[in-house]
Amino acid sequence: MSDLAAARQLLRTTFGFDGFRPGQSDIVEAILGGHDVLAVMPTGSGKSLCYQLPALLRDGLTVVVSPLIALMRNQVAQLRGFGIAAATLNSSNDFDENRRVLGQLAQGELRLVYIAPERLAKSDTIALLKRSGVRVLAVDEAHCISQWGHDFRPEYATLGSIQAALGGVQTIAFTATADAATRGDILDKLFRRTPEIFVHGFDRPNIRLTIRPRDPGRGQILNFVGAHKGQSGIIYCSSRKQTEELADFLVGKGVNALPYHAGMDADARSRNQDAFLQEDGVVIAATIAFGMGIDKPDVRYVCHANLPSNIEGYYQEIGRAGRDGLPADTLLLYGMGDIRLRRMQIDQNEASEEQKRVDRNRLNALVSLCESASCRRQTLLGYFGDRSEACGNCDVCIDGVKVYDGTIEAQKALSAIARTGERFGTEHLVNLLCGDETEAIAKFGHQRLPTFGVGKEHGKPVWRGIFRQLYGAGLISQDITGFGTWTIADRGRLVLKGQERVNLREEVPKPATKRASRDAARAMALGDGASGEPALFEALKQRRMELAKKQRVPAYVVFADRSLLDMARRKPSTLTEMAEVHGVGQAKLKQYGDIFLGVIRQYAAG
């Protein structure tokens, strides 16, 4: 049997999956072949399985580097639920637990061990791992190693030297949010050999994207949450105070909402996180301190009450919805105050000027997404160098926007870029178009260009918005890691030559129609038609919640929603039939098969 055939068999018998998701098999095959690998895959596409499967098929230990303790503990709990020998070494373990894990390592009993980079950097840890037969170093959230990454962590910068100290073991790295600059940094800092690189796109077609200017009050959030009654969701807020005020507001409206932020008492924060993981229908109002360590597959919606810090953060945060592949919904609310706040935060932080330029350009890309007249998904994926047809699953595609023929304005902006040699950023070009003879305009003699002052009919804010829209439409591109200079893309040159026309947005997208809202709510209502037996689905969820609370594990460690939906649809009556349900491997069949068959029999008996 080939290595890949063995992996497919293990996929069914251990994890209960009928086949690989797109992109997984190529990566698994490369890892089994002994190659170093850098894989960029969308959140929810099954990155973890790409290193977990090879770890079970080969001798030796796989060390997994992960940035958050909560993420490590949840992944280990999930692996143990599948009957896999896995553990974690971290500062939250008590003395006895760490001693037990160290003993398992010394005896060669573990297939995977999850370790924070700080712990891994210790010389005694490295020595122990070498004695334990470490074969593979797997780096999760690999974008943290890059200064260009939106979530750079200095402790990740040591991983290159740690890899060498472990004996140059096979190295595999995974991330969902690495643009070209970040990928280059990961390659330089982590890999000593040229890895096989897999970039499997950034699209999450099951996620609906909606972006709206924020109205006064909290009505938009309340309506959004109300459309997803009984479903798990996350609302991201810009401040600790806002999380508590918003949670209190929602509780007053009958919503099971809880706050979460880094300033809370540790016990209260842990209780709220456990409630979110173990129960259904809990809404968490949180700062970005919440989520990176959460691998809950059945989050049905994510709302941003304020503009996120940058486009990578937005992509990662909405990616916490719908990891099970079922329909999920998102809403981003923003205002000019948010944009000013984010820019001020960049200006006032202690980062280098180079990093501040990068941060400003990433923020501008997010603002461009908010203001674009084009399909949201096309604009978002275009930032990462990915392409998409109009998606039909965002507010722009569903509701439309009011546009006008902006070809002349586009040509003026493109001409300003071209005549200045594609070497300048937005503000200089806006000053040129508006005829503002600044010191920089005079220094370069740009007041003598034909484009000087040709855009006086519009104010500077309008021209800034036009540049953002042209960027969102893919007519111009920006050097993110440089000085924010604009260059003209191939389509932009067609527009400049009069060979293609451009529509620009005149107004923000209109509110969703009642029909679109009904359709969205219906798509999100997993128990309505998706399972065929909504009452049975709810009974299975209730039993799952009881087991999760008793075992003090996240609900998905017992079974994910997708498994319960498949049970409700198939209604198995024997263990043999239960073994065919999605996500039911041998260990779960043994531990939970009779329990959930009992729920199904009780439902059938009425």
Tokens (6 digits) for 287: 């700062």
Average pLDDT (305-317) is 90
Which of 450-454, 503-507, 534-538, 554-558 ranks highest by mean pLDDT?
450-454
Can you give the pLDDT at residue 139?
A: 95
Which of 369, 386, 385, 390 lies closest to 471, judged by CA? 369
388 in any annotated domain? no
Residue 256 has pLDDT above 60, yes or no: yes
> CA dihedral defined by 104, 107, 111, 114, rounded to 10 degrees?
40
Residue 525 has pLDDT above 50, yes or no: no
Please, are residues 259 and 272 in contact by the beta-carbon 8 Å criterion? yes
User: Between 146 and 237, whose confidence is greater?
Assistant: 237
Q: Are residues 176 and 211 in the same domain?
A: no
* Helix segments in 142-203, DSSP class H: 159-165, 180-190
372 in any annotated domain? no
Q: Are residues 138 and 173 in the same domain?
A: yes
Across the chain, how many H-helices and E-strands are there? 28, 18
**Enclosing domain of residue 548:** 526-604
- State how many domains the chain has: 4
Average pLDDT (375-390) is 87
Q: Are residues 450 and 530 in the same domain?
A: no
d(CA 352, CA 438): 26
Can you give the pLDDT at residue 510?
A: 47
Can you give the pLDDT at residue 513?
A: 41
378 in any annotated domain? no
Residue 194 has pLDDT above 60, yes or no: yes
Q: Are residues 344 and 245 in the same domain?
A: yes
Distances (CA, A) of 574 to 579, 581, 593, 595: 9, 11, 9, 12
Q: Are residues 479 and 531 in the same domain?
A: no
Q: Are residues 463 and 578 in the same domain?
A: no
Q: Are residues 192 and 71 in the same domain?
A: yes
487 in any annotated domain? yes
417 in any annotated domain? yes
Paired sense of beta strands 86-89 and 134-139, if any? unpaired
Can you give the pLDDT at residue 530?
A: 45
| Cα atoms found within 13 Å of the Cα of residue 307, Cβ hemisphere only | 26
CATH of the domain at 41: 3.40.50.300
d(CA 556, CA 278): 8
Residue 481 has pLDDT above 80, yes or no: no
Q: Are residues 166 and 237 in the same domain?
A: no
Q: Are residues 498 and 572 in the same domain?
A: no
Pick from 355, 375, 392: which residue ends a domain? 355
Percent of the chain with pLDDT over 70: 93
377 in any annotated domain? no
Which of 460, 477, 465 lies closest to 506, judged by CA? 465
Pick from 166, 199, 232: which residue ends a domain? 199
Residue 528 has pLDDT above 60, yes or no: no
Tokens (6 digits) for 68: 């958050």
Average pLDDT (350-370) is 86
Which of 366, 363, 393, 398 lies closest to 379, judged by CA? 366
Q: What is the pTM of this model?
A: 0.76
247 in any annotated domain? yes
Which run of H or of E encompasses 403? strand 403-405
144 in any annotated domain? yes
d(CA 530, CA 224): 21
User: Between 341 and 303, whose confidence is greater?
Assistant: 303
Q: Are residues 342 and 439 in the same domain?
A: no
Residue 529 has pLDDT above 60, yes or no: no
Average pLDDT (401-424) is 93
Q: Are residues 302 and 322 in the same domain?
A: yes
Pick from 148, 171, 199: which residue ends a domain? 199
Q: Are residues 237 and 306 in the same domain?
A: yes
Residues with Cβ < 8 Å from 111, sequence gap 6 or more?
Answer: 55, 56, 61, 62, 84, 85, 86
CATH of the domain at 445: 1.10.10.10
